[in-house]
Structure 1
Amino acid sequence: MAEDEWLSPLFGAEMKTLRDYVTYSQRLKTVLQPHLLSLLAADMTLVLDFPANTPEQRLWLHGLSEQAGCSHTLHFLDTPPEECKARLQIRNASGEHPFAVTDAQFDQIAAHFQRPVEDEGFNIKTYKQ
């Protein structure tokens, strides 16, 4: 389940700033959480493509697994910012993604990035890119 695939049709027209994104992302998480927990309670495996750039964002993801009493893995793509920007430009040019992100927006978002650490309680699988 990818956050962007939900945010775009629900709130895409209203999301103009990073603050807007944070607001609508939180709304989406609030609505989806009971559904996700019911899927986990039914012993389904979920793959969630939600941002986990900060400890605060990761806290919600970890909380889902704690509430459901299930195992989890945080997949961390350890990719240099220059490579991320290059991939983002390719994604933007394809027109297949619901959101196009400028280099300036990427820099604004990346400024908040914090690497996941073991103290957060995740089973972390790191991919060097």
Structure 2
Amino acid sequence: MNNLATLYFFCGKMAAGKSTLAKQLANDHNAILLVEDDLLSQLYPEEIIDISSYIKYSWRLKNAISDPICNLLLNGISVVLDFPANTQNQRQWFRQLIEKTNAAHELHFIDATNNLCKQQLKKRSRDKPDGTAFTSEAEFEAITKYFQAPKDTERFNIIRYERS
């Protein structure tokens, strides 16, 4: 099926600017924006306390919304997924959506330095209560060790932004 819908998704370290770019692309392309952090906080407000619980509930959410996302794409509606595509394993889900719908896609890779991400993390965490998950430099380090930049062999249409 050939349609005009595009799937937009993102790769980049924590606080690289993925969510800001996601909002901009959704606005620019009149696309549906789905934000994993918002959905998870509404569905599982007390359950996500560490990386392993995040992984559990993230996959549960992805399984629940895969068919509706595919239906949007198949009906010519572009979708911006503010969900991390930060590891090869995470990118498999996006690959499944693309193959199921034959939609056009753009993987926006924000290649930002650790120092820039840590500075931005401090800024965005200022107004959050102490103890808020995924706001500390230690959590940044713990999550970043799993980061895998996309490779050409993964066959995604990659748009790269270098930020330092």
Which residue does 1:25 correspond to in 2? 58
Alignment of 1:1-129 (within 5 A): 1-95=34-128, 100-129=134-163
Asked if 2 retains the 8 angstrom alpha-carbon contact of 1:92 and 1:100, the reply is: no
| Counterpart Cα distance in 2 of 1:64 and 1:56 | 14
If the length of structure 1 is used for normalisation, what is the TM-score? 0.93
Deviations 1:21-79 (A, max 9, x none): 00000000000101101101111111111011100001101211111111101000010
Secondary structure at the counterpart of residue 86 of structure 1 = helix
Amino acid corresponding to residue 114 of structure 1 in structure 2? Q
| CA distance in structure 1 between the partners assigned to 2:133 and 2:71 by the alignment | 29
Q: Which gives a bigger RCO, structure 1 or 2 (Cα 8 Å, sep 6+)?
A: 2
Letter in 2 for 1:25: S
Q: Which has the higher helix share?
A: 1
Q: Which runs of 5+ in 2 are unaligned?
A: 1-33
Higher strand share: 2
CA RMSD across the alignment: 1.3
Shift of 1:12: 2.5
**Matched residue count:** 127
Unpaired stretches in structure 1, ≥5 consecutive residues:
none
Cα distance, 1:99 vs structure 2? 5.2
Following TM superposition, the consecutive aligned residue runs of length 4 or more in structure 1 with deviations greater than 6 angstroms are none
TM-score (norm 2): 0.74
